[in-house]
Protein backbone atom coordinates (compact mmCIF):
# COMPACT_ATOMS: atom_id res chain seq x y z
CA UNK A 1 0.00 0.00 0.00
CA UNK A 2 1.37 3.42 -0.91
CA UNK A 3 1.97 6.16 1.64
CA UNK A 4 -0.91 8.13 0.13
CA UNK A 5 -3.35 5.20 0.47
CA UNK A 6 -2.02 4.65 4.00
CA UNK A 7 -3.78 7.78 5.19
CA UNK A 8 -1.00 10.36 5.09
CA UNK A 9 -3.14 11.98 2.46
CA UNK A 10 -2.74 13.19 -1.09
CA UNK A 11 -3.23 16.82 -0.12
CA UNK A 12 -0.50 16.60 2.53
CA UNK A 13 1.93 15.10 0.01
CA UNK A 14 1.13 17.77 -2.59
CA UNK A 15 1.79 20.47 0.02
CA UNK A 16 5.10 18.82 0.90
CA UNK A 17 6.08 18.63 -2.79
CA UNK A 18 5.19 22.33 -3.17
CA UNK A 19 7.27 23.17 -0.07
CA UNK A 20 10.24 21.26 -1.49
CA UNK A 21 9.73 23.01 -4.85
CA UNK A 22 9.72 26.43 -3.12
CA UNK A 23 12.95 25.56 -1.30
CA UNK A 24 14.61 24.35 -4.52
CA UNK A 25 13.55 27.46 -6.42
CA UNK A 26 15.03 29.62 -3.65
CA UNK A 27 18.21 27.55 -3.82
CA UNK A 28 18.47 27.98 -7.60
CA UNK A 29 17.83 31.73 -7.37
CA UNK A 30 20.42 32.23 -4.61
CA UNK A 31 22.93 29.89 -6.26
CA UNK A 32 22.61 31.76 -9.57
CA UNK A 33 22.79 35.26 -8.07
CA UNK A 34 25.39 34.60 -5.36
CA UNK A 35 28.73 36.34 -5.00
CA UNK A 36 29.39 34.61 -1.64
CA UNK A 37 33.00 33.58 -0.80
CA UNK A 38 34.32 30.47 -2.60
CA UNK A 39 34.51 28.52 0.69
CA UNK A 40 30.76 29.11 1.12
CA UNK A 41 30.09 27.66 -2.36
CA UNK A 42 32.08 24.51 -1.50
CA UNK A 43 30.23 24.12 1.83
CA UNK A 44 26.83 24.62 0.14
CA UNK A 45 27.64 21.98 -2.50
CA UNK A 46 28.36 19.42 0.22
CA UNK A 47 25.18 20.26 2.17
CA UNK A 48 23.08 20.01 -1.00
CA UNK A 49 24.54 16.58 -1.85
CA UNK A 50 23.65 15.43 1.67
CA UNK A 51 20.08 16.72 1.31
CA UNK A 52 19.68 15.06 -2.13
CA UNK A 53 20.83 11.59 -1.06
CA UNK A 54 17.65 10.41 0.80
CA UNK A 55 15.45 11.70 -2.04
CA UNK A 56 17.28 9.36 -4.40
CA UNK A 57 16.60 6.25 -2.30
CA UNK A 58 13.13 5.72 -3.82
CA UNK A 59 12.59 7.07 -7.32
CA UNK A 60 10.14 6.32 -10.12
CA UNK A 61 11.08 4.90 -13.47
CA UNK A 62 10.82 6.74 -16.76
CA UNK A 63 7.33 5.46 -17.57
CA UNK A 64 5.87 5.86 -14.06
CA UNK A 65 3.88 9.00 -13.22
CA UNK A 66 4.33 10.66 -9.80
CA UNK A 67 1.99 9.25 -7.13
CA UNK A 68 0.77 12.77 -6.34
CA UNK A 69 0.00 13.61 -9.99
CA UNK A 70 -3.40 13.23 -11.66
CA UNK A 71 -2.73 12.97 -15.38
CA UNK A 72 -6.37 13.13 -16.52
CA UNK A 73 -7.23 15.87 -14.03
CA UNK A 74 -4.33 17.99 -15.34
CA UNK A 75 -2.24 17.84 -12.12
CA UNK A 76 1.46 17.70 -13.11
CA UNK A 77 3.50 18.77 -10.11
CA UNK A 78 6.83 18.48 -11.92
CA UNK A 79 5.88 20.20 -15.17
CA UNK A 80 8.92 22.40 -15.95
CA UNK A 81 6.73 25.47 -16.58
CA UNK A 82 3.78 25.27 -14.18
CA UNK A 83 4.74 22.52 -11.71
CA UNK A 84 4.80 23.70 -8.09
CA UNK A 85 7.21 20.86 -7.28
CA UNK A 86 9.61 21.67 -10.10
CA UNK A 87 12.89 23.36 -9.19
CA UNK A 88 13.02 24.66 -12.74
CA UNK A 89 9.48 26.09 -13.15
CA UNK A 90 9.08 29.88 -12.59
CA UNK A 91 6.26 28.62 -11.82
CA UNK A 92 3.75 30.01 -14.35
CA UNK A 93 0.16 30.22 -13.00
CA UNK A 94 -2.54 29.90 -15.70
CA UNK A 95 -6.29 30.52 -15.47
CA UNK A 96 -9.13 31.14 -17.91
CA UNK A 97 -10.78 34.46 -18.62
CA UNK A 98 -13.58 33.45 -21.02
CA UNK A 99 -11.95 32.01 -24.15
CA UNK A 100 -8.54 33.44 -23.27
CA UNK A 101 -5.93 31.71 -21.12
CA UNK A 102 -4.11 34.21 -18.91
CA UNK A 103 -0.81 33.41 -17.22
CA UNK A 104 1.35 35.22 -14.67
CA UNK A 105 4.91 34.70 -13.50
CA UNK A 106 8.16 36.47 -12.82
CA UNK A 107 11.54 35.21 -14.03
CA UNK A 108 14.65 35.14 -11.86
CA UNK A 109 18.36 35.02 -12.70
CA UNK A 110 18.28 31.36 -13.72
CA UNK A 111 16.27 32.33 -16.82
CA UNK A 112 18.68 35.01 -17.98
CA UNK A 113 19.81 35.21 -21.62
CA UNK A 114 21.01 38.72 -22.56
CA UNK A 115 22.11 40.44 -19.31
CA UNK A 116 19.04 41.38 -17.19
CA UNK A 117 16.58 39.89 -19.74
CA UNK A 118 15.02 36.45 -20.27
CA UNK A 119 16.55 33.82 -22.56
CA UNK A 120 14.55 33.56 -25.82
CA UNK A 121 14.10 29.81 -25.38
CA UNK A 122 12.45 30.45 -22.02
CA UNK A 123 9.88 32.76 -23.65
CA UNK A 124 9.16 30.04 -26.24
CA UNK A 125 8.75 27.46 -23.46
CA UNK A 126 6.31 29.67 -21.54
CA UNK A 127 4.29 30.30 -24.71
CA UNK A 128 4.24 26.61 -25.70
CA UNK A 129 2.67 25.87 -22.31
CA UNK A 130 0.21 28.78 -22.63
CA UNK A 131 -0.92 27.73 -26.11
CA UNK A 132 -1.11 24.07 -25.03
CA UNK A 133 -3.33 25.05 -22.11
CA UNK A 134 -5.67 27.08 -24.37
CA UNK A 135 -5.86 24.17 -26.83
CA UNK A 136 -6.51 21.65 -24.02
CA UNK A 137 -9.30 23.63 -22.35
CA UNK A 138 -10.92 24.21 -25.75
CA UNK A 139 -11.63 20.47 -25.65
CA UNK A 140 -9.21 19.44 -28.43
CA UNK A 141 -5.93 18.51 -26.71
CA UNK A 142 -2.97 17.81 -28.94
CA UNK A 143 0.80 17.91 -29.22
CA UNK A 144 2.79 20.86 -30.52
CA UNK A 145 3.94 20.29 -34.11
CA UNK A 146 4.99 23.86 -34.83
CA UNK A 147 5.80 26.94 -32.73
CA UNK A 148 6.72 30.28 -34.30
CA UNK A 149 7.93 33.02 -31.94
CA UNK A 150 8.45 36.69 -32.75
CA UNK A 151 10.59 38.67 -30.31
CA UNK A 152 9.66 42.37 -30.41
CA UNK A 153 11.30 43.59 -27.18
CA UNK A 154 13.36 41.77 -24.56
CA UNK A 155 11.49 40.30 -21.57
CA UNK A 156 12.76 41.82 -18.29
CA UNK A 157 13.78 39.64 -15.32
CA UNK A 158 12.28 40.20 -11.85
CA UNK A 159 9.18 41.79 -13.37
CA UNK A 160 5.59 40.48 -13.09
CA UNK A 161 4.63 39.18 -16.55
CA UNK A 162 1.21 38.71 -18.14
CA UNK A 163 0.84 36.03 -20.80
CA UNK A 164 -2.21 35.28 -22.94
CA UNK A 165 -3.23 32.51 -25.34
CA UNK A 166 -6.29 31.58 -27.36
CA UNK A 167 -7.38 29.19 -30.06
CA UNK A 168 -7.84 30.87 -33.45
CA UNK A 169 -8.62 28.07 -35.91
CA UNK A 170 -9.51 24.37 -35.97
CA UNK A 171 -8.91 22.44 -39.22
CA UNK A 172 -9.49 18.71 -39.00
CA UNK A 173 -6.98 17.51 -36.35
CA UNK A 174 -4.90 20.70 -36.40
CA UNK A 175 -5.66 23.45 -33.86
CA UNK A 176 -3.88 26.80 -34.23
CA UNK A 177 -3.44 29.08 -31.22
CA UNK A 178 -1.73 32.42 -30.67
CA UNK A 179 -0.19 33.92 -27.54
CA UNK A 180 1.64 36.91 -26.14
CA UNK A 181 4.00 37.99 -23.35
CA UNK A 182 3.76 41.50 -21.85
CA UNK A 183 4.40 42.98 -18.42
CA UNK A 184 1.57 43.30 -15.89
CA UNK A 185 2.27 47.06 -15.67
CA UNK A 186 2.08 47.59 -19.45
CA UNK A 187 -0.12 44.83 -20.88
CA UNK A 188 -0.65 46.74 -24.14
CA UNK A 189 3.02 46.53 -25.17
CA UNK A 190 3.59 43.05 -26.59
CA UNK A 191 7.15 41.81 -26.01
CA UNK A 192 6.84 38.35 -27.60
CA UNK A 193 4.16 36.80 -29.84
CA UNK A 194 3.77 33.15 -30.79
CA UNK A 195 1.64 31.07 -33.11
CA UNK A 196 1.50 27.33 -32.55
CA UNK A 197 -0.06 24.35 -34.29
CA UNK A 198 -1.25 21.40 -32.21
CA UNK A 199 -2.27 18.02 -33.60
CA UNK A 200 -4.83 15.75 -31.92
CA UNK A 201 -3.36 12.24 -31.74
CA UNK A 202 -4.93 9.27 -33.48
CA UNK A 203 -5.55 6.30 -31.16
CA UNK A 204 -2.63 4.47 -32.77
CA UNK A 205 -0.30 7.44 -32.20
CA UNK A 206 -1.39 7.84 -28.56
CA UNK A 207 -0.83 4.13 -27.98
CA UNK A 208 2.61 4.19 -29.60
CA UNK A 209 3.78 7.27 -27.67
CA UNK A 210 2.08 6.85 -24.29
CA UNK A 211 1.18 3.15 -24.01
CA UNK A 212 4.09 2.46 -21.63
CA UNK A 213 2.92 5.31 -19.36
CA UNK A 214 -0.82 4.57 -19.29
CA UNK A 215 -0.27 0.81 -19.08
CA UNK A 216 -2.47 0.21 -22.13
CA UNK A 217 0.37 -1.73 -23.77
CA UNK A 218 0.36 -4.42 -21.07
C1 LIG B 1 -8.87 18.51 -17.51
C2 LIG B 1 -8.26 19.79 -16.96
C3 LIG B 1 -7.23 20.33 -17.84
C4 LIG B 1 -6.43 21.42 -17.18
C5 LIG B 1 -5.47 22.02 -18.12
C6 LIG B 1 -4.37 21.14 -18.51
C7 LIG B 1 -3.40 21.94 -19.27
C8 LIG B 1 -2.43 21.08 -19.94
C9 LIG B 1 -1.57 21.92 -20.76
C10 LIG B 1 -0.59 21.09 -21.46
C11 LIG B 1 0.29 22.00 -22.23
C12 LIG B 1 1.39 21.27 -22.80
C13 LIG B 1 2.14 22.17 -23.72
C14 LIG B 1 3.32 21.53 -24.22
C15 LIG B 1 3.01 20.64 -25.41
C16 LIG B 1 4.23 20.02 -25.93
O17 LIG B 1 5.29 20.55 -25.75
S18 LIG B 1 4.11 18.55 -26.78
C19 LIG B 1 5.82 18.11 -26.99
C20 LIG B 1 6.41 18.59 -28.28
N21 LIG B 1 5.78 17.98 -29.41
C22 LIG B 1 6.12 16.75 -29.85
O23 LIG B 1 6.98 16.08 -29.31
C24 LIG B 1 5.37 16.24 -31.04
C25 LIG B 1 6.27 15.46 -32.00
N26 LIG B 1 5.51 15.11 -33.19
C27 LIG B 1 4.91 13.92 -33.33
O28 LIG B 1 5.10 13.01 -32.53
C29 LIG B 1 4.03 13.73 -34.55
O30 LIG B 1 4.19 14.85 -35.40
C31 LIG B 1 2.52 13.60 -34.15
C32 LIG B 1 2.07 14.74 -33.22
C33 LIG B 1 2.27 12.23 -33.51
C34 LIG B 1 1.64 13.74 -35.41
O35 LIG B 1 2.04 12.73 -36.32
P36 LIG B 1 2.36 13.10 -37.86
O37 LIG B 1 2.58 11.81 -38.53
O38 LIG B 1 3.43 14.15 -37.89
O39 LIG B 1 1.06 13.83 -38.33
P40 LIG B 1 -0.24 13.17 -38.98
O41 LIG B 1 -0.99 12.42 -37.92
O42 LIG B 1 0.12 12.45 -40.23
O43 LIG B 1 -0.98 14.51 -39.42
C44 LIG B 1 -2.01 15.11 -38.69
C45 LIG B 1 -2.19 16.53 -39.19
O46 LIG B 1 -1.16 17.36 -38.63
C47 LIG B 1 -0.54 18.12 -39.69
N48 LIG B 1 0.85 18.39 -39.30
C49 LIG B 1 1.75 17.51 -38.82
N50 LIG B 1 2.90 18.15 -38.54
C51 LIG B 1 2.72 19.45 -38.85
C52 LIG B 1 3.54 20.62 -38.78
N53 LIG B 1 4.79 20.59 -38.30
N54 LIG B 1 3.01 21.80 -39.15
C55 LIG B 1 1.76 21.87 -39.59
N56 LIG B 1 0.90 20.80 -39.69
C57 LIG B 1 1.39 19.60 -39.32
C58 LIG B 1 -0.67 17.23 -40.91
O59 LIG B 1 -0.56 17.99 -42.08
C60 LIG B 1 -2.07 16.66 -40.71
O61 LIG B 1 -3.04 17.65 -41.09
P62 LIG B 1 -4.49 17.23 -41.70
O63 LIG B 1 -4.18 16.43 -42.91
O64 LIG B 1 -5.19 16.39 -40.61
O65 LIG B 1 -5.19 18.52 -41.96
pLDDT digits (tens, 9 = 90+) for 57-103: 999 999 999 999 998 888 999 999 999 999 999 999 999 999 999 99
- The reported pTM is 0.95
Ligand 1 neighbour 129 (Cβ under 6 A): yes
Boundary (domain end) residue, out of 20, 44, 78: 78
pLDDT at 7 over 70: no
Give mean pLDDT, residues 197-204: 97
Ligand 1 neighbour 79 (Cβ under 6 A): no
Whether 16 and 121 map to the same domain: the answer is: no
Q: Which residues partner with 102 through β-bridges?
A: 95, 164
pLDDT at 123 over 80: yes
Give mean pLDDT, residues 131-156: 98
Is residue 215 situated within a structural domain?
no
Whether 72 and 141 map to the same domain: the answer is: no
Whether 122 and 187 map to the same domain: the answer is: yes
Boundary (domain end) residue, out of 26, 47, 78: 78
Contact 152, 191 (CB under 8 A): yes
Is residue 158 situated within a structural domain?
yes
Beta pairing, strands 192-199 & 174-183: antiparallel
Whether 195 and 109 map to the same domain: the answer is: yes
Whether 113 and 199 map to the same domain: the answer is: yes
Q: Which domain holds residue 36?
A: 1-78
pLDDT at 120 over 80: yes
Confidence of residue 144 (pLDDT cuts 50, 70, 90): very high
Closest ligand 1 atom, CA of 143? 18
Phi-psi category of residue 102: left, alpha or beta, with phi > 0 → left and psi -120 to 50 → alpha: beta
Ligand 1 neighbour 201 (Cβ under 6 A): yes
Is residue 214 situated within a structural domain?
no
What pLDDT, on the 0 to 100 scale, is given for residue 8? 65
Phi, psi of 23 (to 5 degrees): -65, -40
Confidence of residue 165 (pLDDT cuts 50, 70, 90): very high
Whether 39 and 68 map to the same domain: the answer is: yes
Q: Give me ligand 1 centre to Cα 95, in Å.
A: 23
Amino acid sequence: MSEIENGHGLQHRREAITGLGDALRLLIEQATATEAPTAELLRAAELIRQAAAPLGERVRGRFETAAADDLLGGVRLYNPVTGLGSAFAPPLEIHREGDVAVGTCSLGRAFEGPPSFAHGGVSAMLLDQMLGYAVTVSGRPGMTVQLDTGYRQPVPLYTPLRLTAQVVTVENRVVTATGTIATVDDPGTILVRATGKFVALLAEQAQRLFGPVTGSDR
